Structure 1
Amino acid sequence: MNRHFTKISLFFLSLLFLVSCNAVKRVPGDKQLLTDNEIFLNREKINDAKIYNQLDQKPNTTLLGLPLKLYFYNLARPNIDSILSEKFLENESKRKKLNYILSHKQFEKFLNSRKRFNQWLKDGGEAPVLANKKDAKKSVNRLNSWYWNNGWFNVETDYEIVQLENRRKRAKVKYNVSTGEPYHLDSITTQISSKVIDSLYREYEQNSIINEGQQYNTIAINNERDRLTSLFRNNGVYNFDQEYISFEADTINTNKKVNTKIIIKNRFASDQDTTNRVPFKVHKISKVNIFTDYKYANRNEPISDSVTTDEGYSIYSFEELRYKPEAITDAIFIKPGNIYSDLSRSRTYSRLNSLRIFKYPNIQFTPDPSDSTQTNLQANIFLSPQPKYSLGFDFDLSQSNIQKFGIGFGGSLLIRNVFNGAENFEISGRGSVGAATDAAASKNTNHFFDISEIGADLKLTFPRIFLPFNTEKLIPKFMSPFTSLSVGISTQTNIGLDKRNLSGILNYRWTPSKKLSNRLDLLNIQYVRNLNTDNYFNVYRNSYNELNEILQSGSIVTQPSYLDKDGLLSIPTGAENFIEDVTEETGGTTGLNEDQTQLVKNIRERKNRLTENNLIFASNYTYLWNTKKNLYDREFTRFRFKIEAAGNILQAASALGGMEKNRAGNYEILGVNFSQYIKTELDFIKHWDLGHKNIFAVRAFGGIAIPYGNANSIPFVRSFFAGGPNDNRAWRAYDLGPGSSGGRNEFNEANLKLALNAEYRYNLFGSLNSAIFIDVGNIWNVLDIVEEEAATFTSFSDLKDIAVGSGFGLRYDFNFFVLRFDIGFKTYDPALPEENRWFRDYNFGHAVYNVGINYPF
């Protein structure tokens, strides 16, 4: 290990020596490279990132202290045209040689390619940042502005460019900030012209963002302006705008106090050729007209169908009305008789878009011509239907935890408004072929594409909570509730033992806000049938090899009929008979010691669990909090909580129905021992934007599934695994754990998982990014059928078996997806003896190479 560290250290020191001499290569002779900024606040140095972010000029971005993008830029030649001219055009002998080899057109392309490559180096790199007075003065102004906006009205800032000793052509800039005492808000008074506005202000004054005694802050002032604008517009003041609000601050002879006056003037109104100020009014919605099939081409056509609802909505159609009135009005939050509200309008937009049956709606408000007081508004909502039928086709390349390479394809048919109640019906089919990992495929196949899957799904979605009782008070319509009923079937070949999945789901989802979403699967039913259980020992070769090692230990006597021509247990008959002899003590096989007998029993228990068919009758709830605003949001928080319970209904029904139990003491439904367990997962992700396309991201995950009642283990499809490109990247998928057992099986899984990942992502140049990461975690068995000490979690002392992986990777951003290549090194391997777990195989020969699509978290 010491030799490895010595080599690594020597490599980085040599690299540092070579490139550090080159950092100022493109710095002009009378200029200096900016290497650092220092800010002294009232003579004390500070490290507050938000203050340093105010500086107009920052040093070149670095990784581990090295400005790699600057070095990349320095590889480019600043005068490439003259260099190429001197080297290839003015040098007659070289030009003749090239002209002899290349045509005139090829020669021009050759020169242009050199220019393009040189420009690529410049574009991908980063020009040297020079310390200069002009940019330093801009930083001074920005620092003064920031402190002034935060209440230090007497702030003064100067700067000094300091030449670094013993470092050629390098300098840092020191900023000295003197703030004085901050100013605080004192009296807050108002000058409001409209009685309506004044009344609303007084009613909600307790919610004010600015209050007496707090330090002056410009952002708080702006936020108060936003609050007041939103308050007035959501309480009927349709014509209100931010421009009518102003703040007047008095700081003369106030002993660093700010006397603030909030001024809200009347609105401008035009009357023929004159413009006057008139008081604001509260506007009420008198009519809501909904046009369900509006097109620009039929704007002047007569209405052919209409209906007026009990709530006062008027629904119109240029053709025959194709929607039940309540299906439309349930998505409209602008109600006749209510006052105008921006919130109701935005909720209407959101809900109509979520239905997926209309294009982006158009909502217009106009004065009601029948109202002489000019306070009533008429809302016109223009809806343009999407096509009744939509076809979709998919084709993708993928890499997952159990396949090295996969090709997927599929198609779907979407039928909108299938029952005239804004319901959507989807029919989809999918198929894929892939190349499995070594453990996944049968040993009998020699084809590259040894995985195949085909499946179909039906899904019906209702834009409401479909229950026999009213849920409006619990889940209001503005939360965009949906009910989905789906069924599906799929068949997999050469994935493990080959499986057929039948599933049925009844779920509800609703979104109280843009950040929060909820999902409740009232019924989540899954039937998993293994189609090729005779292939078990071809797939799980480690178990098969362990049986043969026991058989060939020298003292074992078994039936010759169990063996093949090579003297190994035949598959499947010989291996199964051998296990039965040992575990049932039939006498057909003798000579095993106690440890060997226990090992065979462990192999039998695992085989029985992985080859049994599963019936999962579950309910689950998922809570998701996600502050990510869009695909390009670099700083966000995501928290997911999920809890699932399975088998309780079937257990109660079996007991009440007086059903008989099988030999193992469990109930069976349709010949299948149904699963019963409770499972919970916690998943937390946080991204910090560090600037310059640098991001620090962390993820923490914890999950546990506890069997009880009718089951003593968790179905394979509901268990946890560790390793792989989206988990601990120093181990292949399913290779890590459980505990310190060393991953003896091809698919290692368990019912308890802890994981923590941290990753620093940075831009190299252009669309090429890189990252360094640390992955921590493992899986264990707990409170289930597994009794092996190394694989079970019995106390907190077992946390010493948490694996640690570290590494680095490259990522290329194609905008619509990211291609990722990561190299993971086993940093702490719990499968090794405790004294030899750190950095034992920390080299490229034992590294794990991961290819993935998009970021791991």
Structure 2
Amino acid sequence: MRRLFRINNPSAKISLLFFAIVLASCNALKRVDENELLLTKNTIYADGEKVNNEDIQSLIIQNPNSTLLGYPLRLNLYNLAKQNPDSSFQNWLYKKEKRKDRLVKLLSEKQVVRLGESFLVKGMSEWLKNIGEPPAVIDTSDTRRTLERLKAYYSSKGYFNNNTTYEIDTLKREKRAGVDYKITLGKPYMIDTISNKISSKTVDSIYHLNKAQSFIKEGEQFDLVNFENERKRLTSIFRNSGIRNFQESSINYAITRDSTKSGDDQSMGIDLNIDNLRTRNNNDITTSEYQIEKFKKINIYTDFILDGEGEEDGNKIIEYDGYTIHYKDKLRFKPKTLGDAIFFEKDSIYREVNRSRTYRQITNLNVFKYPSLAFETDSTQTGLTANIYLTERPKYSLGMDLDVSHSNIQQVGLAFSPSLQARNLFKGAENLSLTGRLNVGSSNDQSITATDNRFFNLLEFGADINLTIPRIWFPFVNTGKIIPSYSLPQTRLSLGTSFQKNIGLDKQTFNTVLGYNWTPNDQRRHSLELLNVQFVNNVNPDRFFNVYENTYELLDEIADSYDDPDAYPELADYFETSADSDDPNLIIPSGTSGFTQAIIDGTVSSTSDDYDDVRSIEERRDRLTENNLIFATNYTFNKNNKNGITDNSFHRFRWKIESAGNLLSALSYVIPFYEKDGDLLVFDVPYSQYIKTEFDYIKYWDLRQSKVLAFRSFFGIAVPYGNSDNIPFVRSYFAGGSNDNRAWSPYSLGPGKTNEVNDFNEANLKLAFNLEYRFPVVGDIKGALFADAGNIWNVFDSEDDPDKTFNGVDSLADIALGTGFGIRYDFTYFLIRVDLGFKTYNPAEEISKRWFRDYNFANSVLQIGINYPF
């Protein structure tokens, strides 16, 4: 049977035709001369076996042109440029006898010259060359240099007798070829014996105590990387064992081989030599023996001036716990605060790790500029004086942030955020910050403009006060023994409030936090919020149906069956007819509340379906308009093995657990709380009680040439109990959005297999998986292909709809899948992201229609975000 492929959309036909013309006009061999070959592939063979190791592949100097999904985009952009636009313009200008004269009369001589330099004539070609890529024509000089690199690499792995060669594999396609690099390895050299010669007795003693952990072992194959790692290991050990000025260049290795042995014997001897030859700070060469240095004196200068003036003259001195503190006029810091930030101790040996910890801790106090550390030795070269110079930051500083925004709530918004920071408030490096917030916005919501016709009719304001203490503050407990000061311990106390007008239900929020965080190293971080209290007061709950318009439309649709005043006279006052429609609508709020009450109370007889739908809407309204009191404790653990900003092969893990309401529940046995409808109330508000946990794992794979594969998995669940039968809205989960499943808008996916039309769909269980392939396109423009899977469900709460609840393994069939592509522009410090998501598998559809039902541009979702989604 013959099938015809038709495109009925005229714009799609034009786009396809244009794309075909562009492809046809791009000839990859356009700039490849007759006697040249375009490089299309590099292959490395070691002893006849293909090598796919990325580190070895990176040794190749000349690589094929980059491709975008297999298409050489940058090469073809380069080929579109004119090679000599100046000559082309001159040829065009003089092609007709009087063309130049006419242009001069029309534009002037000067303008004709500028025309030749214009973007359309010359600039376009230069731009295409800059963003494009010239053809990778095989250059045998680069090929030979690659062979040298490969030979050196395999020699570093012990294959000292390797031989390298290459072959140019001419492909069947015209003027294209690949290069095959072939290496014959031979037998690797093995380490037979290890001996050492160490000039310093002190170094010799330390070495023998730590040589069992050496990277270099007898009987193993020679590998230069192990020697480099061993030098770094030994240098670190010596510098952390009191030898402050030990230099890595003092460590040398000599390789020896017995020439009397047979040629097949590839054994070698390794001689470790550690001498005393080194360079001092003044570039003088010295051979004095390395010695262990101990601190005899530690000076702390709290008023150091960057130009060095006043370093010692006129300073007052105070001795504290082995430290000599120098200051002028008045000491503005508690001696203990300074001592806790210094990890050198009098009469202790020098350790490099303590130097790093001192830098880190002083910087973390945020009351000093970057510190300066200097060391002096006495005549015996063993007594050490540490001089720590500190420059205080200004005690007070002011700041102001201004932001312009746009959202689905406001057409335009202006945010002002003034701040005041006071440093070293109580002489213990305590920092206090006071931040105010004022947001004004414009909304065209008719329910708002009817009573407020000003342009800026949205208002939100608030303030936060935060106090940070550079230690773990807990009454009657010496936390220093549990969490050492090198972990950068910090206590946070905060109070905040905000008020809204014409935004949602006009929430008023009050919150307070007592929390601790500490960072043992760059890879691990702990955060404990001992007390996290949040109170949410909905000032205008009667605006619920104005805000949640989809819910109102659903209720009004049900009410259409009951708007006949003759059949239902008791409901007549709940409806009104607008000027532009004859269809009666429920009045907000009196009509909506009256109608739902009449249906639920049975005042008006209704069908079971209408009763269930109205009851569900009313339960949702009650839940989203009720005030919340959350009295919680939580702990978060973060682990990250990323090594620098350029590392694209790492993983991140985050675990959080939160418990709410337990303290108040315990107090209820001592203090009788007021009870209403089975709930215990504090300040006339039922407090929330639940336990919540989250697991978040992210993994990156570096695919070379700036290509990265990123994966994220997330699992979160919040279980209500005791005083609650559901989770507060602010602690629930939602699906969709620019950082989640990008084929759905925020809050529009789920719960489960339902196709809810609520404005904000949320639940208390969430699963999410994201996979993204990132690649360069042109210059700072990056591309991405992604697949997002996940959903939300209700579990262990008041929801009993089986389509919304998680019912075991079978509910995994409700996981939605969205796929798509994105374009990003990298501004170095941040990245703007535009993603287009397509609904690939939609669990809200019938089972037979779930795959690719809405997989088209008409039903795609455009997401805009800042930086990567994970």
TM-score category (smaller protein): over 0.9
Larger RCO (CA under 8 A, 6+ residues apart): 1
> Letter of the aligned partner of 1:552 in structure 2?
D
* 2:297–2:323 contact (8 Å) kept in structure 1: yes
Q: How far apart in 2 are the matches of 1:348 and 1:236?
A: 16
1:666 lines up with 2:679 in the alignment: yes
- Cα displacement (A) at 1:12: 11
1:597 is matched with which residue? 611
2:317 is matched with which residue? 306
| Structure 1 pair 432–688 and aligned structure 2 pair: CA distance change class (3 A) | farther
- Cα displacement (A) at 1:134: 1.1
1:705 is matched with which residue? 718
1:163 lines up with 2:173 in the alignment: no
- Cα displacement (A) at 1:228: 0.3
1:47 lines up with 2:52 in the alignment: yes
Match of residue 653, structure 1, among 667, 670, 674: 667
Match of residue 797, structure 1, among 806, 810, 815: 810
The secondary structure found in structure 1 opposite 2:717 is: strand
Q: How does 1:175-214 map to 2 (within 5 A)?
A: 175-214=181-220
How many residues align? The count is: 847
* 1:440–1:495 contact (8 Å) kept in structure 2: no
Q: How far apart in 2 are the matches of 1:508 and 1:850?
A: 36
1:227 is matched with which residue? 233
Match of residue 617, structure 1, among 631, 643, 666: 631
* 1:463–1:483 contact (8 Å) kept in structure 2: yes
| Structural RMSD (CA) | 2.9
1:216 lines up with 2:222 in the alignment: yes
- Cα displacement (A) at 1:275: 6.4
Q: How does 1:397-436 map to 2 (within 5 A)?
A: 397-398=404-405, 406-434=413-441
Match of residue 380, structure 1, among 387, 391, 397: 387
* 1:696–1:758 contact (8 Å) kept in structure 2: yes
Q: How far apart in 1 are the matches of 2:17 and 2:162?
A: 44
Q: How far apart in 2 are the matches of 1:701 and 1:436?
A: 35
Q: How far apart in 2 are the matches of 1:282 and 1:777?
A: 59
* 1:141-189 superposed Cα distances (whole Å, 9 cap, x missing partner): 2222222222222222211111110x12111111122222323323222
Q: How far apart in 1 are the matches of 2:447 and 2:277?
A: 72
- Cα displacement (A) at 1:350: 0.7
Structure 1 unaligned regions, length at least 5: none
Q: Which moved more, 1:541-550 or 1:408-417?
A: 541-550
Match of residue 583, structure 1, among 593, 600, 603: 600
Q: How far apart in 2 are the matches of 1:222 and 1:751?
A: 52
2:551 is matched with which residue? 543
| Structure 1 pair 350–673 and aligned structure 2 pair: CA distance change class (3 A) | same
2:858 is matched with which residue? 845
1:636 lines up with 2:644 in the alignment: no
Match of residue 573, structure 2, among 561, 584, 606: 561
Match of residue 142, structure 1, among 146, 149, 169: 149
- Cα displacement (A) at 1:450: 6.3
| Structure 1 pair 773–292 and aligned structure 2 pair: CA distance change class (3 A) | same
| Structure 1 pair 104–689 and aligned structure 2 pair: CA distance change class (3 A) | farther
The secondary structure found in structure 2 opposite 1:240 is: coil
> Letter of the aligned partner of 2:391 in structure 1?
S
1:458 lines up with 2:490 in the alignment: no
* 2:576–2:587 contact (8 Å) kept in structure 1: yes
1:728 lines up with 2:738 in the alignment: no
Match of residue 706, structure 2, among 693, 700, 715: 693
TM-score, scaled to structure 2: 0.92
Q: Which moved more, 1:139-148 or 1:739-748?
A: 139-148
1:237 lines up with 2:240 in the alignment: no
Q: How far apart in 2 are the matches of 1:511 and 1:838?
A: 46
Match of residue 606, structure 1, among 620, 638, 643: 620
Q: How does 1:77-156 map to 2 (within 5 A)?
A: 77-88=82-93, 93-114=98-119, 115-156=122-163
The secondary structure found in structure 1 opposite 2:684 is: coil
* 1:233-265 superposed Cα distances (whole Å, 9 cap, x missing partner): 111112210111011122444822232121111
| Structure 1 pair 95–757 and aligned structure 2 pair: CA distance change class (3 A) | farther
The secondary structure found in structure 2 opposite 1:412 is: strand
2:474 is matched with which residue? 467
TM-score, scaled to structure 1: 0.93
* 2:341–2:358 contact (8 Å) kept in structure 1: yes
* 2:249–2:278 contact (8 Å) kept in structure 1: no
> Letter of the aligned partner of 2:127 in structure 1?
W
| Structure 1 pair 660–452 and aligned structure 2 pair: CA distance change class (3 A) | closer
| Structure 1 pair 712–37 and aligned structure 2 pair: CA distance change class (3 A) | same
> Letter of the aligned partner of 1:36 in structure 2?
K
Q: How far apart in 2 are the matches of 1:443 and 1:844?
A: 37
The secondary structure found in structure 2 opposite 1:139 is: helix
Q: How far apart in 1 are the matches of 2:352 and 2:446?
A: 58
Match of residue 27, structure 1, among 18, 26, 32: 32
Structure 2 unaligned regions, length at least 5: 578-582
The secondary structure found in structure 1 opposite 2:468 is: strand
Q: How far apart in 2 are the matches of 1:702 and 1:343?
A: 38
Q: How does 1:476-555 map to 2 (within 5 A)?
A: 476-553=484-561
1:36 lines up with 2:53 in the alignment: no
1:785 is matched with which residue? 798
> Letter of the aligned partner of 1:821 in structure 2?
V
| Structure 1 pair 288–3 and aligned structure 2 pair: CA distance change class (3 A) | farther
* 1:739-781 superposed Cα distances (whole Å, 9 cap, x missing partner): 1111320011111111111222222222222222111111111
